[in-house]
Amino acid sequence: MTQEAFVSAPVDDDSAPDIATQGLSLAYGNVSVIEGLELRLPAGQVTAIVGPNGCGKSTLLSGLSRLLKPCAGAVLLDGADIQRVPSRQLAKRLALLPQHPHAPEALTVAELVRFGRHPHQSWLCQWSSDDKACVDEALAMTGLTTLAERPVDALSGGQRQRAWIALAIAQQTSTLLLDEPTSALDLGHQVEVYELIRSLTAAGKTIVMVIHDLVGACRYADHLIAMHQGQILAEGPPGETVTADLVRRLYGVDCTLMTDPATGAPLLTNVRRTRDALDGSAT
């Protein structure tokens, strides 16, 4: 990995964009998942959205990336409703990496990453030297230069995830939305992806990731949003936000909270089921 390589990269000329939601309500058909959500995502930082299964984390990410049209309210990117921004323009500012993306058979890493340039291309200008430079750079940032000609489906889980992140990097957006980027990865690959994410923030990008791994979120995120049943229970820097009480309300488990002596991040130990949770009244 070559993470230090781009820490010194020039930060975005125009300041990183501001993402906020205004009375955002999201639903699948008649099933309302999120109602009247007010949210502000800090620019140039890593925001982790945590919460139990079915709390609406991924739904929120779908709403933020315009995959799901809000039934009320709006997602604002620099004050503009993303539903009104032309899709190609939006794709130059906001990239989404969905959960478990699937590459067509025999697609190589370089071919996959080249797709990231799609919003910057047109039918009359299908490839430019900028595109080439961005793809090469995205491959280098993710340490995939030597694997560029390998088929994506022949890579290890961590490499594959890095290839998909490289696609989003090549898209050159100032904001990246990642849906569980580390799920299904082993510890080493998880750290690899987390460190890549940190280095992207160091290069000026805003990262929003939905994540199950609370410890990883505490360690690598600047901002934490805890969701439960479509509502925000707490938000702020992980060190101030995560409390034993919050963990109990989120997941129905008791834990002992410590401070990681190495990083200063909150550390959960002695996790056990709350007695209340057994009665089905966790909150």
Interface with another protein, residue 42, by CB under 8 A: no
Contact indicator for 198, 220 with CB cutoff of 8 Å: yes
Contact indicator for 25, 38 with CB cutoff of 8 Å: no
- Please give the Cα distance from 150 to 111 (Å, whole number): 10
Structure-block tokens of residue 16? 């990183």
Rank residues 132 and 272 by Cβ distance to another protein and give the closer one. Answer: 132
In this chain, which of 28, 83, 132, 195 binds another protein, going by CB under 8 A? 132
Q: Which helix (H) or strand (E) holds 117?
A: none
Interface with another protein, residue 58, by CB under 8 A: no
Interface with another protein, residue 118, by CB under 8 A: yes
- Furthest C-alpha separation in the chain: 64
Rank residues 129 and 281 by Cβ distance to another protein and give the closer one. Answer: 129
Interface with another protein, residue 149, by CB under 8 A: yes
Closest CA to 70 of 98, 33, 96, 18: 33
Which listed range, 72-80, 82-90, 213-221, 258-266, lies at the site for another protein (CB under 8 A)?
82-90
Interface with another protein, residue 148, by CB under 8 A: yes
Stretch 163-222 residues interacting with another protein (CB under 8 A): 167-169, 171-174, 203-205
Interface with another protein, residue 88, by CB under 8 A: yes
Backbone angles phi, psi at 281, to 5 degrees: -130, 60
Stretch 11-30 residues interacting with another protein (CB under 8 A): 11-14, 17
In this chain, which of 47, 51, 73, 137 binds another protein, going by CB under 8 A? 137
Rank residues 106 and 271 by Cβ distance to another protein and give the closer one. Answer: 106
Q: Packing angle between helix 157-170 and helix 129-141, nearest 10 degrees?
A: 150
In this chain, which of 22, 45, 145, 274 binds another protein, going by CB under 8 A? 145
Interface with another protein, residue 76, by CB under 8 A: no
Q: For residue 130, give Cα distances in angstroms to 62, 216, 272.
A: 29, 35, 53
In this chain, which of 75, 90, 247, 267 binds another protein, going by CB under 8 A? 90
Q: Taking the alpha carbons of 243, 247, 250, 252 in that order, is the dihedral positive or negative?
A: negative
